[in-house]
């Protein structure tokens, strides 16, 4: 087979780029943090650390016992549909994942993902007809290798007519207490049926514009049988219909 013509697009990466990247990777901070080496035994043996931690706890208790302070803090923490959120109009801080261990999911077929996932999942039965399951992007995080992401499954549907994607994220991690930082008026409680409250979260922090915005789309989060479901998309009604269909 004469296929030599297909090699003609190959080129060498820019030398400066190659050198810079090599330098970055060679730097000591590229090493993953050795936090896992610090087991409980080591921590307890570190007397200075224990003393500082104890002082910190005492200080927190003292501050929280002053009622005006407690009220001030509480006013920024809100409980919506049983889930805690920290509401702020300000800069929520960077979360670029620097220094965190990156966990690679297993990319498998939906059937294999469901078989690997250790819980029974209610799949939605009401997906809009113009959407097709994206079989190439089914991700599952299970087992010890998945670390803090275990056990999670993620997959979605791609619109055949426009650039829309609906993502479904299901996990057994407790999402009620994470205290996600959100913009004022961006979260509301919404009922899927009489017994299933859900949280609707609009938009997110736009790191480029350094402001809250609608660019992140809409997320709908609810829980059934200790599993947390989160749908991400752009159409609120569409997400609601899909979510309701998991309860039937």
Partner 1 sequence: MVEHIDWDAVYTKELPRVYNFFLYKLGDKEFAQDLTATTLERAWKLRSKYRSAIAGISSWLFGIARNVLKEHLRKNRSGGQKLQGITSVEEMSAKIDVEEMVQQQQEKVRLHKILLKLPDREQDLIALKYGAGLTNREIAQVTGLSESNVGSILHRTVNNIRAQLENDDGR
Does 135 engage in binding with partner 1 (CB under 8 A)?
no
Does 7 engage in binding with partner 1 (CB under 8 A)?
yes
User: In the bound complex, what is the minimum distance in angstroms from residue 243's beta carbon to partner 1?
Assistant: 21
Only segment of 1-9, 38-46, 63-71, 183-191 that touches partner 1 (CB under 8 A): 1-9
Does 137 engage in binding with partner 1 (CB under 8 A)?
yes
Does 195 engage in binding with partner 1 (CB under 8 A)?
no
The two three-digit tokens of residue 147, written as one number: 């670390």
Does 52 engage in binding with partner 1 (CB under 8 A)?
no
The residue among 104 and 174 lying less far from partner 1, judged by its C-beta, is: 104
Question: How far is the CA of 235 from the CAs of 70, 78, 124, 205, in angstroms?
Answer: 38, 25, 16, 19
User: In the bound complex, what is the minimum distance in angstroms from residue 137's beta carbon to partner 1?
Assistant: 6
Residues in 149-168 at the binding interface with partner 1, rule: CB under 8 A: 163, 165
Of 23, 24, 63, 89, the one binding partner 1 by CB under 8 A: 24
User: In the bound complex, what is the minimum distance in angstroms from residue 170's beta carbon to partner 1?
Assistant: 18
With contacts defined by CB under 8 A, how many residues of the chain interact with partner 1?
Answer: 31
Does 208 engage in binding with partner 1 (CB under 8 A)?
no
Of 6, 40, 61, 71, the one binding partner 1 by CB under 8 A: 6
User: In the bound complex, what is the minimum distance in angstroms from residue 187's beta carbon to partner 1?
Assistant: 24
Residue-wise DSSP of the chain: ---GGGGGG--PPPHHHHHHHHHHHHSGGGSPPGGGG--HHHHHH-HHHHHHHHHHHHHHHHHHTSHHHHHHHHTTEEEETTEEEEE-SS-------TTSPPPPPEE--HHHHHHHSSS-----S---TTEEE-GGG-EEE-SGGGGGG-SEEEEEEEESSSS-EEEEEEESS--TTS-EEE-TT-EEEEEEETTEEEEEEEEEEETTTTEEEEEEEEEEEEEETTEEEEEEES-HHHHHHHHHHT--
Binding positions for partner 1, rule: CB under 8 A: 1-3, 5-14, 17-18, 21-22, 24-25, 30, 32, 101-102, 104-105, 107, 136-137, 145, 163, 165
């Amino acid at each position: 087979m004469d296929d030599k013509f297909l090699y003609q697009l190959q080129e060498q990466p820019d030398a400066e780029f190659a050198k810079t990247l090599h330098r970055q990777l060679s730097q000591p901070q590229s090493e993953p943090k050795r936090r896992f080496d610090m087991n409980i035994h080591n921590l307890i043996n570190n007397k200075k650390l224990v003393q500082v931690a104890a002082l910190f706890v005492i200080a927190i208790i003292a501050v929280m016992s002053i009622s005006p302070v407690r009220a001030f803090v509480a006013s920024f923490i809100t409980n919506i549909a049983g889930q805690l959120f920290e509401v702020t109009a300000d800069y929520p801080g960077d979360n670029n994942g620097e220094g965190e261990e990156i966990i690679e999911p297993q990319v498998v077929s939906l059937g294999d993902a469901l078989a690997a996932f250790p819980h029974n999942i209610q799949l939605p039965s009401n997906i809009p007809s113009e959407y097709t399951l994206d079989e190439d992007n089914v991700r599952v995080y299970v087992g010890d290798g998945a670390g803090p992401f275990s056990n999670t499954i993620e997959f979605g549907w791609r619109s055949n007519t426009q650039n829309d994607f609906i993502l479904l994220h299901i996990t057994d991690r407790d999402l009620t207490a994470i205290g996600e930082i959100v913009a004022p008026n961006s979260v509301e409680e919404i009922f899927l049926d009489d017994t299933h409250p859900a949280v609707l979260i609009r938009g997110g922090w736009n790191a480029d514009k350094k402001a809250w915005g609608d660019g992140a789309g809409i997320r709908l989060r609810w829980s059934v049988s200790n599993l947390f479901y989160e749908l991400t998309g752009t159409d609120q009604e569409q997400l609601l219909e899909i979510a309701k269909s998991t309860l039937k």
